[in-house]
Structure 1
């Protein structure tokens, strides 16, 4: 799909009542991107598993009850359900908008637990079933800058490709809130995707395409329903270092030779080419 066409549609969805639901219907029935493919599911499940491995590797807390927090879990709760299957005891999940859908959560349950889901999930029982059957306490809409959770209450925090969708000016407040609620010695495992997300839909553009636009131009190509902040690795690391967190580990995906050629053709500095990064932080 041409990204300009999708951009126009998502601007339309961003501006009308019920636009979020219309956008969901497009992804489910037209582009068929929801429910996610088995390949995409396995990629997301591996992210969740890696977060849990980071927690076990670096946590100073004794093994036992684990209180977990995640913001921006999306439509299908893949990460929380995978973590529940791995033994995380309580999962506190929030989102800026209520996105979860019974049919997508049911699909995830079947994929995670490898059996036919016989739990009838409906809009009216979804929250209670998640709480009672899977220890997932879901709240939305709720802002990650002000969660209302107690100080030093979380053993483990994770974030999956969410920070690139938060306005850059709001990232420090989100990080500070995570620091406030994380227990001393607790672990915050996160990843961030620096690539132009339009390129996942439109194969005619590069992963760096959005960097060629001015701020004014990009504002027209950045609908609220598909917001991307275009933050680069160096900027994000500076924001992390400005917090009280200690960075225990950083892994990033550097530019390939082909990427360098693309950056050069777009007249973009090579130091902006890092595409993906993972961090482990502690308090």
Structure 2
């Protein structure tokens, strides 16, 4: 039996258990190694940070975030992007996640990895607030796994919120930078529209929404015997049996995201795509509706969708 199928079965079972998110974290950390903050994982997230900052700078003409309120959707276990926003001067950084993934231990693990790669990290970020860098160093040296998560986050101008963002109310906030990484693809189609619409409503004039979408089969990340298009062979009924609510995958292609933005009248002023691998797509007996899409559209594996609200 292939490794990806075993992982699917285990996660399906875990999804019925109490404390399922915590159990899944340990399963992925110690068995599949899917959530460990290894070097590749760290620098993937770091590159997203730099890209979001570049999208903001292209709109506002400034390299710093001083006076800016930011929001990240789906931060997960390791808040590399919020920490980067803090170092660039952001006044406040909201992190909204449907599940309480972030813990004191994962925050400290994140700071440990930043320190380990600090030369490359700081070179990539460019000018930062040095006082804030010192705050990071102090937390790393002084905090323990029993330290209060909320207290540590407060020192980083970081507000973690566990909530469905559609129910979030921030009536006095004007958010100029909203971002997500590897999040859209984990949201079920029936709720994604409401979430994107909410994000756009929170975007202030002159603000930017920058979202990175990974449209690859995430089971292929740990099982190299399948391609990143493997999950497109299954009908919707078959996929419902395989998929799980812990790490759901909606299997949308970029064409469908474009259609959603158009339906919501949300402009996207920039789109950056990875073309993917047509040869691998052609090896898969595609199920509907993917068989009816242009192969080039099916093959696109990753993309940024960037929307800018006029000032």
TM-score (norm 2): 0.84
Q: In structure 2, what is the Cα distance between the partners aligned to 1:166 and 1:74?
A: 14
Tell me if structure 2 keeps the 8 A contact 1:248–1:280.
Answer: yes
User: Is the CA contact 1:250–1:278 (under 8 Å) kept in the aligned structure 2?
Assistant: yes
- How many residues were matched structurally? 278
Q: CA deviation at 1:151?
A: 6.8
**Residue number in structure 1 paired with 2:281:** 263
2:69, 2:173 within 8 Å by CA — same for their partners in 1? Answer: no
Give the conservation status (yes or no) of the 8 Å contact 1:195–1:276.
yes
Q: Aligned partners of 1:30 and 1:265: how far apart in 2?
A: 30
Following superposition, the deviation at residue 60 of structure 1 comes to 7.5
Conserved 8 A contact 2:65-2:89 = no
Q: Residue 148 of structure 1 aligns with which residue?
A: 169
Equivalence for 2:232 = 211
- The residue that corresponds to 1:277 in the other structure is 303
Matching of residue 59 in structure 1 with residue 80 in structure 2: no
Q: Which moved more, 1:34-43 or 1:94-103?
A: 34-43
- State yes or no: 1:118 paired with 2:141: yes
Aligned partner of 1:188 in structure 2 is 209
Q: Which of 103, 106, 109 is residue 104 of structure 1 equivalent to?
A: 106
Report the TM-score, using the length of structure 1 for normalisation.
Answer: 0.91
8 Å contact from structure 1 (residues 47, 160) kept in 2: yes
Native 8 Å contact 1:249 1:279 kept in 2: yes
**Residue 272 of structure 2: which of 223, 229, 251 is its match?**
251
Determine the structure 1 residue equivalent to 2:9.
8
Separation of aligned partners in 1, 2:274 and 2:24:
31
Aligned equivalents of 2:273, 2:32: Cα separation in 1: 30
How far does the alpha carbon of each residue in 1:12-33 deviate from its partner, in whole angstroms, 9 at most, with x for none? 1100112222111122333344
Shift of residue 242, structure 1, vs aligned partner? 2.0
* Aligned equivalent of 1:139: 161
Contact kept, 8 Å, 2:65 with 2:85, in 1: the verdict is no
Indicate conservation of the 8 Å contact 1:151/1:181, yes or no. Answer: no
Structure 1's unaligned 5+ residue stretches are none
In the TM superposition, residue 86 of structure 1 has moved relative to its aligned partner by: 2.4
Q: Please state whether the residue corresponding to 1:100 is helix, strand or coil.
A: coil
Whether the aligned pair in 1 keeps the contact of 2:66 and 2:90 (CA below 8 Å) is no
SS at match of 1:231: coil
Q: What corresponds to 2:32 in structure 1?
A: 31
- Structure 2: gaps of 5 or more residues: 119-136
Distance in 2 (CA, whole Å) between partners of 1:241 and 1:123 is 47
Q: Residue 44 of structure 1 corresponds to which residue in structure 2?
A: 45
Greater Cα shift, 110-119 or 160-169: 110-119
In structure 2, distance between residues paired with 1:189 and 1:73: 14
Are the counterparts in 2 of residues 69 and 91 from structure 1 also a CA contact under 8 Å? yes
- Matched ranges for 1:164-183 at <5 A: 164-183=185-204
**Measured at CA, do residues 26 and 209 of structure 1 come closer, stay the same or move farther in structure 2, by a change above 3 Å?**
same
Shift of 1:267: 3.1
After superposition, give the CA deviation of every residue in 1:45-104 in whole Å (9 maximum; x if it has no partner): 110111011101113899740100111100111211122222222101111011112222
Superposed CA deviations along residues 244-263 of structure 1, whole A, max 9, x for unmatched, are 332111111113xxx22222
Query: Quick check: 1:34–1:104 contact (8 Å CA) kept in 2?
Result: no
| Cα separation, partners in 2 of 1:10 and 1:84, compared to 1, 3 Å | same
**Residue 121 (structure 2) aligns with:** none
Q: CA 1:123–1:146 in structure 2 vs 1: closer, same or farther (change >3 Å)?
A: farther
